[in-house]
Amino acid sequence: MTTRIVELRQGILKKNDELARGLRQRFTSAGVLVLNLVSSPGTGKTAFLERTLRDLLARGSRAAALVGDLETDNDARRLAASGAPVRQINTHGICHLEAEMVAKHLEGWDLAGLDYLFIENVGNLVCPSSYDLGEAVRVALLSVTEGEDKPLKYPTLFNSADAAVITKIDLAGPCEFDREAALKNIRAIRPGIRVFETSAKTGAGMAEWLEYLKELRVRHAGS
Amino acid sequence: MHELSIVSSIVDSVTESLAVYHGARVTEVRLRVGALAAVVEDSLQFCYGIATEGTSLEGSKLVVQILPVIVHCAACGADGEIESLQSFSCPHCGEPVSDLRQGRELEVESFEIEEGEIEKAGEAVTP
């Protein structure tokens, strides 16, 4: 009986990472900007995305969405009302989206015919941060009804984000939302990050967000 | 709670690499996990017992090495370990930092096997 140590030095999520790399190449060559939206359940990802899709379509942009949930196609039906192509991914218990699920749900879609593709992740502030979906931009959302210290409690996710969106700012007053503390906490975890303060209900902050999307598309098309 | 998926991936990678060591039994698997990798060691250990059942990894020990978050400071040029996960600032000069050099790792470093009479296929027996 002999004992041997086998060096492996292999990423545990290698399979997902490879698939995500392939997706990223596909997205880049199709010229579609892909955003991965992550937050807790109840932050208002779907309402924010509904508004974003509607506003983008009204401006003549071509946008589509994939939406992840454990069960039901409620969100896909809500989002489809915007007129954008939408597909639901049901994970049946899995707490995050994986690159393979994204790839599977893209079948038959003409990516080159899209300007933007949004992937609404499963509501969860922990697990989605480990799974690359091939996105160009990861957006972390935080609502005024959650604690201002959420970024400090979930540094992994906020640190991996490229942009942050504060949602439901129409409720900031009644919730006694401490805006300065929230901004300070987001920036303590992710220095230099762009933060958008929005309300899907009133449309506040949406113009700035849409402008940012446009800038991103230009930046990624050029890279 | 995605630790079960992670552990299943570990079992898959090790099993794949094990194919060339016929009849070998895994006794230990060593992981390198960054402090920002979003996995909890206790959950990993718990899931490991379940996921390895009935595989060549059954009964093996899972050793998790947690790697601190190392950042590179653009302002002072130094690399260093951040003092807390609640503040991404340079430990030397205090400037905010976003350039991560370590802390997101999630990898199988190595595994230890016990080989029986049959040695690695197609390879000379090393004492």
Distance from CA of B80 to the nearest CA of A (A): 16
What tokens appear for A30 in the block?
């199709």
Decide if the complex's ipTM is over 0.95. no
**Torsions phi, psi for A96 (to 5 deg):** -160, 165
The average pLDDT across A165-192 equals 97
SS3 label, residue B86: coil
Q: Do A3 and B113 touch (CB under 8 A)?
A: yes
Q: Do A191 and B96 touch (CB under 8 A)?
A: yes
Q: What is the average pLDDT score of chain A? A: 95
Q: Which domains does chain B have, with CATH numbers?
A: 3-68+102-114 (3.30.2320.50)
Q: With contact defined as beta carbons under 8 Å apart, do A143 and A179 qualify?
A: no
SS3 label, residue A62: coil
Q: With contact defined as beta carbons under 8 Å apart, do A118 and A37 qualify?
A: yes
Q: Which residue from B minimizes the CA distance to A129?
A: B38
What is the DSSP pairing of strand A2-11 with strand A116-120?
A: unpaired
Question: Please, how many CA atoms are within 13 Å of residue A75, restricted to the half-sphere of its CB?
Answer: 25
Q: Is a pLDDT exceeding 80 seen at residue B90? A: yes
pLDDT per residue as tens digits for the range A4-60:
999 999 999 999 999 999 999 999 999 999 999 999 999 999 999 999 999 999 999
pLDDT per residue as tens digits for the range A87-140:
999 999 889 999 999 999 999 999 999 999 999 999 999 889 999 999 999 999
Domain extents for chain A?
14-222
Fold type of domain A14-222 = Rossmann fold (3.40.50)
Interchain contact A181–B (C-beta under 8 A):
no
pLDDT band at B127 (very low <50, low <70, confident <90, very high): very low
Q: What is the average pLDDT score of chain B? A: 90
pLDDT per residue as tens digits for the range B12-29:
999 999 999 988 999 999
Please name the member of A10, A131, A155 whose beta carbon is closest to the beta carbon of B108: A10
pLDDT band at B117 (very low <50, low <70, confident <90, very high): low
Determine the residue among A12, A100, A125, A152 to mutate to test chain B binding: the one whose Cβ has the most chain B Cβ atoms within 10 Å: A12
Per the document, the length of chain A is 223
The pLDDT value recorded for residue A161 is 97
Say how many CB pairs under 8 Å bridge A and B.
112
Tell me which residue of A154, A87, A158, A150 sits closest to A119, measured CA to CA: A87
Q: Do A5 and B110 touch (CB under 8 A)?
A: yes
